[in-house]
Amino acid sequence: MNIITHIYFTYQLSKHIIKLEREDNMFKNINIVVGITGGIAAYKLCSLISYLKREGANVDVIMTKNACEFITPLTIETLSGNKVVSDMFEKKDYMEVEHISLAQKADLFLIAPATANIIGKVANGIADDMLSTTIMATNSKVIFAPAMNNGMYENKIVQDNIKKLKKYGYKFIDPVHGNLACGYKAVGKLADTNTIIEYIKELLEIK
């Protein structure tokens, strides 16, 4: 994606920013880490990140390798104002363990869209990339917003993993019924941005 295409894409996204009224920096001084995984719904995080930023939040974003195939880190960096983290082994100009730094910094951790893969990793203690490692290291409140094919979402293994994570205190924003990328109309669509915002406000006790 060249810079002209990137600017055009960002402009188009800006026209679809969620229609919530400004609430006078309701997320001021709150550090939110957003984890984006490899699902078609990844593009929807652009409006969410833009809104959080406008409302005063500091937004750091971790993208999995597959997420970068759906939306570019450059787009997310433009909207968040922070460098996207994706590679555990990227060379730094300073000594800092990135996943520990972000894990400690977060007041809230949102994983959206949350694939069956990331849910399964965390549920079974697998930390093999920047996102799963940071989730494992954080003591902040963690929210998963699943989005996937209805067959995957209804799979007993996935449901068991979700139940397991809920038992450990992880929060979930259930997917909704709608048109899925596979062509079916079923449960598996990412919850709308307004719903996610309201859930974040409730969890952080913002009125």
Report which of residues 14 and 162 the model is more confident about: 162
Residue 2 scores a pLDDT above 60: no
What's the confidence (pLDDT) of residue 9? 52
In a domain, 75, yes or no: yes
What's the confidence (pLDDT) of residue 75? 95
In a domain, 116, yes or no: yes
97 token code pair: 């363990």
In a domain, 3, yes or no: no
In a domain, 87, yes or no: yes
Report which of residues 178 and 11 the model is more confident about: 178
In a domain, 24, yes or no: no
In a domain, 28, yes or no: no
Alpha-carbon span 155 to 138, nearest angstrom: 28
7 confidence band (pLDDT: 50, 70, 90):
very low
Residue 33 scores a pLDDT above 60: yes
Q: What is the pTM of this model?
A: 0.86
Task: List, as one string, the DSSP characters of 61-97.
Answer: EEE-TTGGGTS-HHHHHHHHSS--B--TT---SS---
In a domain, 13, yes or no: no
What's the confidence (pLDDT) of residue 11? 47
User: Which domain covers residue 195, as residue numbers?
Assistant: 34-203
Mean pLDDT within 89-113: 76
In a domain, 29, yes or no: no
Alpha-carbon span 26 to 57, nearest angstrom: 8
Q: Which residues are catalytic?
A: 182
Q: What is the CATH number of the domain that holds 188?
A: 3.40.50.1950
pLDDT digits 0-9 by tens, 45-78: 999 999 999 999 999 999 999 999 999 999 999 9
What's the confidence (pLDDT) of residue 165? 98
Most distant CA pair in the chain, distance: 48
How many domains is the chain built from? 1
